[in-house]
Structures are given as C-alpha cells and as structure tokens.
C-alpha cells in the first residue's frame, strides 16, 4: 500500500553525497537530538533503511577527555551503527583537537561533527554551541585546528547566526571550507529563534551559495517527503538531516531515499510494525542499561510510539506505570490484543501530530 503523503517529483542529483572520502549511501541523515539519538534508536532507524549517516548526541569534549561515564555512554557504538559521527562541543581549541583525536582512534567513529548550534544558555555562555557564532577569529581558528588534527572528515553543524541582525553562517561556511571542513549542516534558524518560528529556506540557500564545493546539509522542520523536496529544491542543498520528524516517523529516511530513487513513497510503519520496532529498541536498550533503567529511560520514547500507533489513552497510561519486566510485558500484551483505535494492526495509520519535544531546553 502506498503512503498517504502527497506525491512530489523527486529531485535529481548529479552525484551521491560524500563527506570527503566517506561515501554515504543516502543523502538523508539523522540529526543529533540530545537524549534521544542513542545507540538503540540509531540501530532501529538504520534497520528500516534509507539512512545515510547518524550522529550521536552532543558530547562535552572535556568530559570525553576525562573519561566521564556519561560522555562514554554517549559515544557507545557497534559495527552495525555505521556510518557514525560523534558530535563534540567545547570552546578550547586544544581540548577539541584532543577529543577529535581520541575519537579518531576509536573503532567505528567515521566523522567528527562540531556543535555550533546549541542555543541553551548553559552551553552558549561558555562560548560553546551557538556561542561560537559570536566569535569570528577564535571560532575559525578552532574549527581549522580540529579539521587539521585528524584524518577523518570533520563537519560543523550551525545555525544561521546569533540573531537576525547577525547572519554569519554564510561567512563561517566559506571560511570553514577553506579550513578543510568536509561538510556543513545548517539549521535554518538563528540562535535567538530557538526552536520557534519558521525555518528560513532563503537563509539555508545563502549558505549553499557561500561554499565552492563541500556539501551543505539543510535542516529544520522536515516531517515528510514534501518538506524535504521543498528544502532541496529551494535551497540547492546536497542533503537533508531530520531530527524530530524521525522520532515521530522512524521510516522517514527509507521513504525519502526510495522517493529519490523511484519517485514512490513507501508507507510508514503500521501498528504491528511499530510495535515490533518499539520492542526491538527496548531490547537493545535493556541489554545496554539493564531492565530497571531501560524501563524508565524508554518511557518518553514509548509515549510517541504508542500515540502514533493510536493506542487508547488508558493503555498508554498503563504502559507508563510498568516498573518490572513482567508489568512491561503485560502492558504490551494488552496493547497488542486491543490494536489501534478504529482499525486493524496491518492498516495504514493516519498521519497525526506526535508531541515530540520542541527543543532540548526542558531536559538540560
Ligand atoms: C530534544 C532535542 C535535542 C537536540 N539536541 C541536539 C544536539 O545534541 N546537537 C545538535 O547539533 N542539535 C541538537 N538539536 C537540534 C536538532 O538536531 C535540529 O537541528 C533541530 O531540531 C531542527 O531539526 P528538526 O526540525 O528536524 O528536528 C536538538 C533538538 C531537540 C528537539
């Protein structure tokens, strides 16, 4: 059964996407989402197909060098989690270079991404994340330092600028290209916008026009194939990264990739497929963190899964109360037996609003 998404003409590309020598199988990438783009989520999304590259949540360069447990958990990976980039943040050039070198030594890390977009005060006040957009020479020096300290591709993910009167992304993109950066990902909002307002496609296009040959990845508010088509056509960007849209619909990469290759959009998961995916993601998390922690960590993710599956409110509530493996299994058993509201387990599910987090602020 085809998808219910509107049919749009695929965009033609002269060449596949590559970060320097790292060839990517698709131009649709998973954007880092702190707290969510962990190994279990990356693995299940990869298994659905169509994903070109996944990046970890942002990791503190200082914490990484100190061997901090949380930082090391964030970079956990395995051979199936490939190609994988680790995103680091910090404002000290030596530490950022050392962290990049440490990552390069680690098996499986194929690229390092520098976070220059995080709008959260705690990060920007120290001059990291979007705070880097307020310093010109120091930032260019830091990025050039990191790019020349490792052989694997280094990329930068940034915003359009600090605020609307300081649109600096095109200037930075041109400088970073000269400094040896392999690609730029651009979230089409300023730091001042946070996660509100509209993504500015004209702003993304300015970044595309500012570079000579490195790929530019557009990002922001892509929820379906038509959104990606609009971004690709209007901005001329070489790839699209999707964050929140993938939480609501982990099939989005497969839909995008197949649309580009065939013009057809395969359906996203039905009730049964989503239930299987939920169980698979939980099983990987349980293996990594143990049952008790996994049940707690998984609650927020399960909430979106169950909403998208059209599970009745009282059953969703019941699921959230589970504390043990047997309560978890019992809740799943009832959910599976009930099926979606007004349909069967194999029917296409209607597109519906999934309340994924609007931004990282609430969690930090
Ligand atoms: C909960 C949450 C966590 C995020 N964490 C990160 C992060 O760790 N690193 C980063 O570069 N961007 C982070 N972002 C920004 C996203 O990667 C992305 O740029 C933004 O959400 C816009 O894209 P989207 O509409 O496809 O989600 C985060 C966004 C959200 C909502």
Ligand 1 binding pocket mutation candidate from 156, 158, 195, 243 (most atoms within 8 A of CB): 243
Q: Which atom, in ligand 1's list, is nearest to the CA of 31?
A: 17
pLDDT in tens, 291-329: 999 999 999 899 889 999 999 999 999 999 999 999 999
Give me the pLDDT at residue 197, please.
87
Confidence of residue 14 (pLDDT cuts 50, 70, 90): confident
Averaged pLDDT for residues 265-272: 95
Q: What percent of the chain shows pLDDT beyond 90?
A: 87
Peptide bond into 127 cis (omega under 30): no
Q: Give pLDDT, residue 1.
A: 56
Of 34, 159, 253, 357, best ligand 1 pocket probe by most atoms within 8 Å of the beta carbon: 34
Which ligand 1 atom is the nearest neighbour of the CA of 245?
26
The closest of 113, 106, 101, 109 to 59, measured between CA atoms, is 113
Helix axes 325-338, 291-308, angle to 10 degrees: 20
Whole-number Å distance, alpha carbon 342 to ligand 1 midpoint, is 34
CB 219, CB 185: distance < 8 Å: yes
Indicate which residue of 78, 97, 118, 136 is catalytic.
Answer: 118
The pLDDT tens digits of the residues spanning 78-107 come to 999 999 999 999 999 999 999 999 999 999
97 belongs to the catalytic site: no
pTM of the predicted model, to two decimals?
Answer: 0.95
pLDDT digits (tens, 9 = 90+) for 35-81: 999 999 999 999 999 999 999 999 999 999 999 999 999 999 999 99
- Where does ligand 1 bind, in terms of residues with CB under 6 Å? 31-35, 57-58, 87, 115, 117-118, 157, 187, 219-222, 242-245, 357, 359-360
Which of 227, 194, 231, 226 has the alpha carbon at shortest distance from 216? 231
Q: What is the DSSP letter of 11?
A: P
At 363 the pLDDT is 41
- C-alpha–C-alpha distance, residues 206 and 213, integer Å: 14
* Maximal CA-CA distance, the chain: 61
pLDDT for the residue numbered 362:
39
pLDDT value of residue 32 = 97
Concatenated DSSP letters of 276-294: HHHHHHHHHHHHHH-HHHH
């Amino acid at each position: 059964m085809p998808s219910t998404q509107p049919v749009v003409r695929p965009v033609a590309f002269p060449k596949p996407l590559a970060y320097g020598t790292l060839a990517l199988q698709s131009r649709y990438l998973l954007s880092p989402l702190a707290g969510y783009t962990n190994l279990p989520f990356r693995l299940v999304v990869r298994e659905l197909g169509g994903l070109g590259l996944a990046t970890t949540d942002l990791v503190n360069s200082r914490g990484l060098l100190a061997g901090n447990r949380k930082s090391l958990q964030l970079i956990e990976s395995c051979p199936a989690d490939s190609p994988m980039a680790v995103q680091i943040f910090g404002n000290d050039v030596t530490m950022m270079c050392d962290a990049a070198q440490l990552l390069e030594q680690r098996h499986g890390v194929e690229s390092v991404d520098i976070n220059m977009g995080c709008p959260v005060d705690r990060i920007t006040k120290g001059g990291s994340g979007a705070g880097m957009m307020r310093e010109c020479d120091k930032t260019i020096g830091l990025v050039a330092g990191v790019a020349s300290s490792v052989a694997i591709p280094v990329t930068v993910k940034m915003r359009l600028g600090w605020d609307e009167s300081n649109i600096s992304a095109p200037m930075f993109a041109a400088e970073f290209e000269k400094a040896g950066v392999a690609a730029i990902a651009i979230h089409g909002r300023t730091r001042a916008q946070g996660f509100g307002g509209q993504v500015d496609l004209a702003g993304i296009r300015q970044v595309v026009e500012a570079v000579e040959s490195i790929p530019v990845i557009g990002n922001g508010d892509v929820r379906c194939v038509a959104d990606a088509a609009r971004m690709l056509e209007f901005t001329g960007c070489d790839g699209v990264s999707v964050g929140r849209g993938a939480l609501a619909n982990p099939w989005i990469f497969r839909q995008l990739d197949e649309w580009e290759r065939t013009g057809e959009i395969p359906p996203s998961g039905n009730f049964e497929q989503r239930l299987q995916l939920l169980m698979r993601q939980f099983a990987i998390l349980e293996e990594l963190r143990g049952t008790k922690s996994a049940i707690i960590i998984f609650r927020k993710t399960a909430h979106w899964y169950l909403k998208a599956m059209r599970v009745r409110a009282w059953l969703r509530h019941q699921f959230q109360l589970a504390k043990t493996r047997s309560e978890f299994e019992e809740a799943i058993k009832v959910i599976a037996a009930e099926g979606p509201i007004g349909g069967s387990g194999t029917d296409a599910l209607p597109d519906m609003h999934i309340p994924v987090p609007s931004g990282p602020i609430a969690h930090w």
